[in-house]
Amino acid sequence: MTMDTVQPTTLILVRHAESLWNSEGRVQGQLDAAITARGRDQAERTARRLAAAEMSAVYSSDMSRATQTAQPIAAPHSLELQIRADLRERSFGILEGKTMDEAARDDTGWFQAWRADRLRLAPPDGETQPEMAGRTMAALRDIAARHPGESVAVVTHGGPIKSAVFTILDVPLSSWMRTWIANCSITILRAAPRLLQVVSFNDTSHLDPEPTPTWRTSDIGEPS
C-alpha cells in the first residue's frame, strides 16, 4: 500500500470528565485527582454516545481522571486501554495543586512574569505550551500511523486537545483564550499521511445539562 492509498485514521479526542480539582479550581497538570460524581455521569454519557461507533482501540493518558473516563468508553467495545504518558496534560511544575490565588500569595518572583506570558513561558519545573504541543502532535501522529483506516478514541486533557486543533488550523497562540474544551467533550480529527483535519470541535451534545466551565480560563489559559 502506497502513502497515497493509505486510508485516513479517525481520532476521537475526549477530554477527561470533571475531576475534584476541576471543581475546586486547582491547577492539575501532571498531578492526579479522581473524577467527581458529576464526572462519572459525564463519562457514562460519553460512553453511551460512542458505544455504536466503530472503534479499534482506546488510548488514554496515564492520569486517573483520564483512565476513569476512558474505561466506560472502552467497555462496550471489549477493548483494553492503551496507556500513554505522552498524552498527559501540560506540566505546570510548582504551580500544580494550587489555586491561582494561592500561587499569587506564595509568589517568589516567577509568578507574575509567567502569568504575563503563560503560554510561552513555563512555571519552575514545568513545561511550555509549545513543548506540550510538540509532544501531543508526535503522540497523535504515532497513534494514527498504528491504525490506518480505523477509528480510535483518545482520552486526554484540555491542553493537548486545544494544542492539536491550534496546530492543525495554524491558529496563533494569541487566540488561545478564545476557545474552551469542556469536560467529556468530543473533538474529531481525521489523520492522513499528508494531512490532518479537524472534523468537529468541543461537541457536548451528549451531555445534559450543557456543561459550564469549572475552570477560571481567564487565569490559567487552558483547562487541565
Tell me which residues are annotated as active site: 16, 89
Strands 57-61 and 81-84: parallel
Task: Give the integer Cα–Cα distance in Å for 10 and 150.
Answer: 6
- Cα separation, 32 vs 9, whole angstroms: 30
All three cell numbers of 3, joined, read: 502513502
Q: Is the dihedral of CA 29, 95, 129, 163 positive or negative?
A: positive
Say how far apart CA 224 and CA 92 lie, in whole Å.
10
Residue 191, strand partner residues: 9, 196
Set of cell numbers at residue 47 = 460512553
What's the grid cell of residue 188?
A: 474529531
